[in-house]
A and B are shown apart, each in its own frame.
Chain A
């Protein structure tokens, strides 16, 4: 097993713990597609020019970032 599989993904919770945004930072190449096409502007750049969830409370779980990501780096989970 390589190093990145042991590396834990960055997890961002919303206030009611119903929406979870997971970012695998090792996979992200910083293309900015998810940041631009997010309809509620939840995501933003961090200091390494990778993606992070700035305000996860606004997330509506449309899964657009997850579907458009070319690098399998971001995942959204929604509790029912």
Chain B
């Protein structure tokens, strides 16, 4: 194993990890560590916060400050960490069920405050850990164990939610586009403000099996064929309806919460003196 990878892993306690064969969450952990290494982030200055779920197990394998919190409550705990120690790089990893179902209001309000956090949403279209139930991002008509005749509801568009709530950065990538994912994560981590990265991941054990999508390799091939990069789209009207757009969809500037708070604290202290 390479030294720069070994440095960031809890090799002597936790490995090999418990994720299913072919699961995309391992790939995401792999790319995340390589991004830390390329940005030269000290592992003492990173804090990974997660809730409950398959993807929330990633911080258990990475050797830095980690915080495993209640279901859906990763973002409030991360805000506490960030306000107490503003020099830390706080990263939240969660699944679609963790952040978008039970923790949706926390997600919206953190985006409204524009506090300097990076949220990585691992979207595998269902609740993986509890056995394949329907989630807010399950597409219409797809099968899960709680929708055996097809899902009746429409799915969430995470981009529209983040945009209207006030996030300053949104990017979408998949576990097939690994170098693209690394580039996007690098940009999201260097951005100052509330940035969201949605990563489409494969769940071959539950979602793939129930919808007859084949094994992990076939699901990755589908990501390859169904996605289109936003830089390739010249006119907005020509997007085919069955394609998923990947790439950096939103990139704007707004004032950050920690800076405003620090300025207020200094102003009040000066008034008292």
Contacts and interface: CB of A to CB of B under 8 A. Distances in A.
A37 B12 CA distance: 30
Contacts of A2: 12
Interface stretch (A10-18, A40-48, A52-60, A67-75): A67-75
Contacts of A29: 16, 21-22
Nearest to B201: A70
A70 B23 contact: yes
A56 to B, nearest CB: 18
Contacts of B27: 67-70
A37 B215 CA distance: 14
Contacts of A37: 217, 220
B26 interface: yes
Give the bracket for the number of chain A residues in contact with chain B.
Answer: 20 to 34
B108 to A, nearest CB: 31
Given A67-B31, A70-B27, A75-B1, A31 B15 contact: no
B26 A69 contact: yes
A67 B178 contact: yes
Nearest to A2: B12
Contacts of A70: 19, 22-27, 30
A72 B5 contact: yes
A33 B234 CA distance: 33
B21 A30 contact: yes
Interface of A: 1-2, 4-5, 9, 22, 24, 26-27, 29-33, 36-37, 64, 67-72, 75, 77
Interface of B: 1-2, 5, 9, 11-12, 15-17, 19, 21-27, 30-31, 34, 175, 178-179, 182, 215-217, 220
